[in-house]
Amino acid sequence: MTESEVAHQTADQRAPAITPAPNRTVTSSRRAILSVTDLKKYFPVKSSGLVRRTIGQVQAVDGISFEVAEGSALGLVGESGCGKSTTGRLITRLYDPTAGSMMFEGHDLATLSHRAMKPMRREVQMIFQDPYSSLNPRHTVGAIVGTPLRVHKVVPEKQVLNRVRELLEVVGLNPEHYNRYPNEFSGGQRQRIGIARALALQPKLLVADEPVSALDVSIQAQVVNLLRDVQNEFNIAFLFIAHDLAVVRHFCPEIAVMYLGKIVEIGERESVYEHAHHPYTQALLSASPDVKQAAIGGRRERIRLEGDVPSPINPPSGCRFRTRCWLAQDICAKQEPPLLQIGKTHKVACHFAAELGQNPTKPVTASLLGTDDQGNHDPGASPVEIPNQPGYAETWFDLKNKSFGTS
């Protein structure tokens, strides 16, 4: 079955443009359905030989904090290997966290036993990156989508088939194809099957791990629009993991940028895309096509990062991005920059945070950390404790005045 047949079998007759997400108010004024605080996941590295000892740890996720508002969407972006997918698997408890908390509807998902997690899995579901490997090739679509209904006893056994057909119709598939196998469908259709399975339990939070990266561009638009319709109809919150900045910008009102297990910048969509303050975010945006810039002529200057991403087994001291950063100074190697709130809905972790081309010559965080400009301890300074907490505070740090305020 080809991708072109999808257009004739579904309600999407053409490849539509991706519908932009509305400018919803982000976490600062909406109830947070998920609150993640200082989340960590370390994978042990074992030695070879008869007696296998732990000789190191892969710091896949290292102390991240964020919130996902009810009915909203948070986009998690970054290079491959930065910890995005690991974060999604931690929230769905496919991985057990090393440390930290994940508060969901008054329950800490990080500490729940596997038995206690069973009822919570009705509320938190996941859409996997590969739409084929996540579907059992030995089961029909009806069995795949119907299994969650049977396990959680959502509907009586006699009504499972009718419910499966309804779900297939919701995601734009032919309800009569419930008795087919995954290999009989195209990539876009298989991803729709995965979405139908995730929607079967009517969850409150969906973790979408690269849901469109394996699809053609025309099919990507259909799937993203489908997810938008699903969110609006069922008021589902999304943690949308992707590397395509254009898709994230259209779908998510709030964006978080990860690098080597850390969140380096997070904030409202327009604040991050139009006023990025971290050099890594600026480099990512420079590599993404800008339709507006192309319309008025000219081309945005590309920022090329030198070197490879360091190993998460032995990350750099201080700022983890310093080995590839053109702004790095001595303080970057000695002091880890805090995730500092610099606006009403904008945080950044950089000693020289500023918009592109306006970076200061001296670190803006030295006074907060109680150090001199080289990162050495200053006996006469009074460090300010900056908690690594999700959400946004009522006051924030003014980069120009180097003081806390509300405007």
The CATH number that applies at residue 24 is 3.40.50.300
Please give the helix or strand (H or E) that residue 197 lies within, else none.
Answer: helix 187-199
- pLDDT, mean of residues 88-109: 94
Q: What is the Cα–Cα distance from 32 to 237, expressed in whole angstroms?
A: 10
* Least confident span in 14-18, 216-220, 249-253, 388-392: 14-18
Residues 249, 350, single domain; the answer is no
Please give the helix or strand (H or E) that residue 102 lies within, else none.
Answer: strand 99-104
Q: Is 122 exposed, middle or buried (0-12, 13-18, 19+ CB in 10 A)?
A: middle
Query: Whole-number mean pLDDT of the chain?
Result: 87
- Can you spell out the DSSP letters for 28-82? TTS-EEEEEEEEEEEEEEEPSSSS--EEEEEEEEEEEEEEEETT-EEEEE-STTS
Q: How many structural domains is the chain composed of?
A: 2
- pLDDT, mean of residues 167-187: 91
Statement: residue 15 has pLDDT above 80? no
Backbone angles phi, psi at 55, to 5 degrees: -110, 0
pLDDT in tens, 222-279: 888 888 988 998 899 999 999 888 889 989 999 999 999 999 999 999 999 999 999 9
Residues 94, 210, single domain; the answer is yes
Examine residue 30 and state whether it is found in any structural domain, yes or no: yes
Examine residue 268 and state whether it is found in any structural domain, yes or no: no
The SS3 assignment for 269 reads: helix
Residues 204, 315, single domain; the answer is no
Range of the domain at 232: 3-46+56-259
Residues 94, 231, single domain; the answer is yes
pLDDT in tens, 41-69: 999 999 888 888 888 999 999 999 999 99
Statement: residue 87 has pLDDT above 80? yes
| pLDDT in the model for residue 186 | 87
Residues 224, 295, single domain; the answer is no
Residues 241, 333, single domain; the answer is no
CA 85 to mean position of chain CA atoms: 8
- pLDDT, mean of residues 333-339: 95
Examine residue 269 and state whether it is found in any structural domain, yes or no: no
Residues 157, 251, single domain; the answer is yes
pLDDT in tens, 127-164: 988 878 889 999 999 999 999 999 998 889 999 999 99
pLDDT in tens, 287-331: 876 655 555 555 567 888 888 889 999 999 999 999 999 999 999
Residues 67, 210, single domain; the answer is yes
Statement: residue 339 has pLDDT above 70? yes
